[in-house]
Amino acid sequence: MAWVALIPLLPALAFVVMLPMSRRARNAVRWLPAAATIAALGLSVAAFFAVLAVGGEEPVFRASFTLAELGGAPLAVGLRLDAVSAIMLLVVTIVAACVQIYSLDYMRSEDRRGWYFAVLSLFTAAMLLLVLAGDFLLLYMSWEVMGLCSYLLIGFWHEQDAPRSASIKAFLTTRVGDVGFAIGLAAMWASAKSFDFAVVLHGFEWTVPAATVVALGLLFGAMGKSAQVPLHVWLPDAMAGPTPASALIHAATMVAAGVYLVARALPIFHEAAPWVLQLVMAIGVTTALLGALLAVVQHDIKKVLAYSTISQLGYMFIALGAGSEIAALFHLTTHAFFKSLLFLGAGAIIHATHTQDMREMGGLRRSMPWTTTVFVAGALALSGVFPFSGFWSKDDILMVLYTGGHWYALVAALAVAGLTAFYMTRVCVRVFGGSEKAHAHEAHPAMLVPMALLAAITVVVGFTSPAFAGFLGEAKGWPDLGMAAVGTLAALAGIGAGVWVFGLGKVDTAVLKRRLPRVYAAFVNKFYFDTVYGIVFVGAYAHLSGWLARFDVSLIDGAVNGIASAWSKVSSVAWSADVRLIDGAVNGLAGAVTRAGGRMRTLQAGAVQGYQRLAYGALLVLLGASLLVPFVGTTVALAGGAVALLLMGVLVVRGA
Amino acid sequence: MSLIPGLLSAIVFLPLAGAVIVPIAARLAPGAAKWIALAVAAVGLAMTVVLVAGFDVSAAGMQAVTNVSWVEQAGIRYHLGVDGISLAMLALSSLLGLIAVIASWKITERAPAYFAMLLLLQVGMNGVFVALDFVLFYVFWELVLVPMFFLIGMWGGARRDYASVKFFIYTLAGSVFMLIGIIALYLSAGTFDMVELAAKGASGAFGIGFQNWVFLAFFLGFAVKVPVWPLHTWLPDAHVEAPTAASVLLAGILLKMGTYGFIRVSLPMLPQAAAAWAPWISVLAAISIVYGAAVAFAQTDLKKLVAYSSVSHMGFVMLGIFSLTAAGLNGAVAVMFSHGVVTGMLFLIVGIVYDRAHTREIAKIGGLSQAMPVTGGLLAFAAFASLGLPGLSGFVGEFLSLVGSWQSAVIPQWVTIVAAIGVLLAAAYTLWMVLRVVLGKPTETVTGLPDATPREIGMLVPLIALTVIVGVWWSSLLAFVDPAVRALVAVITKAV
């Protein structure tokens, strides 16, 4: 089974090969990253069947590598192939392969496409390593490498301002979460002396306080990566990167890594204080609502999808808060496919219309029929319409909330379901409905084929719902008809409202803006998160840092220089008396130093003089101190040594 | 593989011979200086590689020991030896010493003197890490000051006089306190031998009152060198004015002498005092981390930014050391090593840019990824290594220091949290620098400048390789370090 290690290794090799060709990718190797990813996909399928054949929750493959020994205790990282990682491998490799193929045409005219494919491959390798990791340390390490790739791809067009600032914002915001992650890991090691899933998740006796600290730390990390409120602000900006990269990283895989982390660590969350899981749910509810509300008012098609991603990740957090990692992971899976499909569709639209603003689109159903078809399939899935995949996974989550008695979350989840259908209807109406505003053309087959594949998966994958749960070790039947009806009603209500408002134009949105100016302003300003962060964190930190830098020079260094010049004054009083005494010992030396130094400038002369006298003083102290040693030999050795060395230096310098 | 007797002495004193030969040979054959220096540094590195290869990682205690009487009346011995920690530092010193010579290849102003100073510096740096007799240790410690003083004062920038004298006095003032500490230990224990003193310290021979004030004396000596906040202001001045090679050695090796002193002297000889002082020192470490990062963020001079980042990184070393745990101490040594490699890389790259653009003003150098793609790419790589990206060496030590610090019985947990925020702040100043210097459109100053030459890329290659190797395969470094750490932790655990 050691071939499992090849799954992340193949894209990593593609990265190594592509890196030197970053700036001038030859056509001959363009297919290489895609080929490596497809090969990884093939191996992932094999891995899936290997797990299926064995069944059960035990991993079918484990490998361990001792990174270091700490005081004799081994610190190991390792790989682990079990049911969860097998599913994640499939999700990641399928989406990554689609994105790689799609990018071949999408990025065709970019100068630095070699760099793009190299980083995309490194990302894929890191994400695959993350889901194969058998311990939290390796997971964290690949997590950070993904963050690097995300940063590099967001800033792909770094000559422009927006991608540049979006890239640094993404890295730093997620790193806020990573501070928590790191502390969670430190606390994990302090308790369990291990990061291994097998140890910390099964069998280790957690105390409640320890588990609480660890769970909170991991949760904080997950919130950064999965763009949960209040660390969600980076994801909409991240849309400044190339759209296929957004599809893979900022929709399907990396942003879901936080959900994956919490799902993996859920046994620790169960050991923690009960309010931790309630917190997870509250964060999920807030995020799901906030994302859905803001998605409604965006004009940039990618921004709608970005806020939608935030909202859906919140949905997964709700499921995690209810303690169901299976519902969360199933929604992660279906979402990965339909959201990457939507992003690739949006990419095709942007490619064809040269705009991301939906107000400049319209009527594309005629010029881009295939893109329209697959995009609408994705939109229906996201809206939770039977039989598309989103229906199934959303239903699972609603059911979990219902059986768990989480009423406020259930109501919020239904509201989000309705809102989701509403804003996706808005997108479809704006982009595909109405009359054609600009000339567009259908996407290249290299782009259409991956989209069609994802659309096909989106149609069928929902039906695996019972099998999915069974594969992860939980018996589950077909959806409850009552809950299915309620969920479907929410979706249909959203679609109906969307058609009513945007399709038929029954509500004048301009009137709403006038009637509710404050509400409108709050929406336009994204509920003021960026504004507040800009003042409280970014602005304040820049001020503090500037102030500290001045403080460093004026006060701390000022004190140092002050001591030097004070010494200079003290010594100048005693100078005339001392000068004969010191002369013999150091004047010749000082002269030599001065001459050797050559051009002693008047610049900083006062301080230099102070320092010089301080030097002589220090030498005297040194000599005096060594006199304390009751052996003449030592004194000679120390004093003679110091003086001789200085003299030697002088002589060498002058001699040359 | 057994170790050749006298190998350590050869590693330490070969550069001294070189320093004597260089000025003489330069009279006979002008231009020979750098070649001799290169040969000496290369042979030194080769001998260090032999030493590393022959080092037995499974054995505890000192290896490659030479121990003969030197000044018999005073009980001063010529006692050299290495454990894994000193070996790591010695290897770093030998490597950076060679790279410093290569980085100085274009120095023409009084070249013989320059290279002689570089080699003399090498003697002191190597010596400090292998000396096991306090007098010897002190001599090497002070020896380092002299060539560095001249390197900054004669081949430095515009404010070199101020910077060099400040550096000299500040660190000399610190080492006076260290000398007092040495003498106090000698008067109490009757020996200068550091191994014996460590054994005495471990057995509880020194009372806690005595330990406390001797610890303080050593603290002042070492903390200036590290430097620990608020004793750090000599560092930015010295760095900015120093020529590139001196900056590399200053940050790469000289700062580590301070933290090495804590590990070699303060912890084993004065364990109870170390435990008593640890909470306070950890607070200073956390301040150094956060303060250094915040001040680095505001810098407009690229070299000063790197200098302040050193204050921040060395804070992690202090945090790891005074966690008094195995994880923390391993982490501290890992940061020491990695910071030497990565910051060396950063200074070399800044030097490459400065040689061409004649400025280090961040506002004037921008868009390097287009103007000088190789240089810009390497700078970005070094930056990510510096901010602690996993898979590169910077992560290893920072992470382990935090793990040790959290685990530590003597460090309050809020200190660890503050230190962990430093990881975020490191990303902030580093990426903000990358954004301005590497990304975007090239500025007027850097447009049309030639990219790094093969010599310049070549001197960075070993550092890049080490960054990746240590980052991926932690035990390539820590297998040497952990046995020494284990012994140290055992002493502290017993004493406290």
Cross-chain residue pair B298–A549, CB shorter than 8 Å:
yes
Rounded distance, CA B266 to CA B80, Å? 19
Q: What is the pLDDT of residues A381-429, one digit of tens each?
A: 999 998 899 999 999 999 999 999 999 999 999 999 999 999 999 999 9
Average pLDDT of chain A?
86
State yes or no: pLDDT of A514 exceeds 90. no
Q: Is the pLDDT of residue A611 over 70?
A: no
Q: Which of residues 374-393 of B touch A (CB under 8 A)?
A: 384, 389-391
Judging contacts by C-beta atoms under 8 Å, the chain B residues touching residue A66 are 475
Predicted pLDDT at A624: 52
Residue B387 lies in a domain: yes
* Domain interval for residue B293: 279-496
Contacts of B417 in chain A (CB under 8 A): 183
Whether the predicted pLDDT of A655 surpasses 80: no
Q: pLDDT tier at A109 (50, 70, 90 boundaries)?
A: confident
Closest CA–CA distance from residue A69 to any residue of chain B (Å) = 7
Query: Lowest-confidence range among A228-232, B25-29, B306-310, B459-463?
Result: B25-29
Q: What residues of chain A lie within 8 A of the CB of B478, using their CB?
A: 68-70
Pick the more confident residue, A375 or B173: A375
Residues in chain B within 8 Å Cβ distance of A606: none
Q: Mark yes or no for CB contact A556/B233 under 8 Å.
A: yes
Neighboring chain B residues of A614 at a CB cutoff of 8 Å: 169, 173
Beta carbons of A633 and B76 less than 8 Å apart: yes
List of residues 6+ apart from B73 with CB closer than 8 A: A631, A632, A633
In a domain, B83, yes or no: no
Per DSSP, A463 falls in state G
d(CA B362, CA B489): 44
Q: How far apart are CA A317 and CA A281, in angstroms?
A: 6
B368 domain residue, yes or no:
yes
User: Tell me, what's the pLDDT at A307?
Assistant: 95
Mean pLDDT of A188-198: 92
Residue B342 buriedness (CB in 10 A; 0-12 / 13-18 / 19+): buried
B464 assigned to some structural domain: yes
The set of residues, in sequence order, having a beta carbon less than 8 Å from that of A311 and lying 6+ positions away, is A287, A288, A289, A290, A291, A292, A295, A416, A419, A420
The confidence score (pLDDT) of residue A252 equals 92
B340 lies in some domain? yes
Lowest model confidence (mean pLDDT) among A118-127, A604-613, B25-34: A604-613
CB B350 within 8 A of CB B302: yes
**Residue A627 pLDDT > 50:** no
Token pair recorded at residue B132: 């096991």
For the cut 90, the answer to whether the pLDDT of residue A328 exceeds it is: yes
Q: A47 to chain B, minimum CA–CA distance in Å?
A: 26
Asked, for residue B484, whether it belongs to a domain, the answer is yes
Is position B346 within any domain?
A: yes
- Report the pLDDT value the prediction gives residue A525, as an integer from 0 to 100: 86
Question: How many structural domains are present in chain B?
Answer: 1
B210 domain-assigned: no
A-to-B residue pairs, Cβ atoms closer than 8 angstroms: 249
Is it the case that residue A323 has pLDDT exceeding 80?
A: yes
Q: Which residue has the higher pLDDT, A575 or A219?
A: A219
pTM of the complete model? 0.90
pLDDT-derived band of residue A599, with 50, 70 and 90 as boundaries?
Answer: very low
Report the complex ipTM: 0.93
- Given a contact cutoff of 8 angstroms between Cβ atoms, the answer to whether A226 and A256 are in contact is yes
Which residues in chain B are closer than 8 Å to A133, comparing Cβ atoms? none
Cβ atoms A68, B479 nearer than 8 A? yes
Q: Is B446 helix (H, G, I), strand (E, B) or coil?
A: coil
Q: Look at residue B448 in the predicted model and tell me its pLDDT.
A: 86
Testing the interface with B: which of A70, A146, A193 to mutate, by most B Cβ within 10 A? A70
Helix crossing, B208-225 with B160-189: angle to 10°? 160
Point out the residue among A144, A542, A656 whose CB comes nearest to the CB of B112: A656
Mean of the per-residue pLDDT values for chain B? 91
Statement: residue B69 has pLDDT above 90: no
On whether the CB atoms of residues A309 and A255 are closer than 8 A, the answer is: yes
pLDDT at A213 over 80: yes
- Residues of A in Cβ contact (< 8 Å) with B369: 158
* B435 to chain A, closest Cα gap in Å: 7
Q: Name which of B137, B166, B176, B418 to mutate to probe chain A: the one with the most chain A Cβ atoms within 10 A of its Cβ.
A: B166
Helix, strand, coil abundance in chain B, percent, nearest 5: 75, 5, 20
Interface of B with A in 189-228 (CB under 8 A): none
Q: Is a pLDDT exceeding 60 seen at residue A621?
A: no
Could you tell me which residues come within 8 angstroms of residue A22 by beta carbon, excluding any fewer than 6 positions away?
Answer: A112, A114, A115, A118
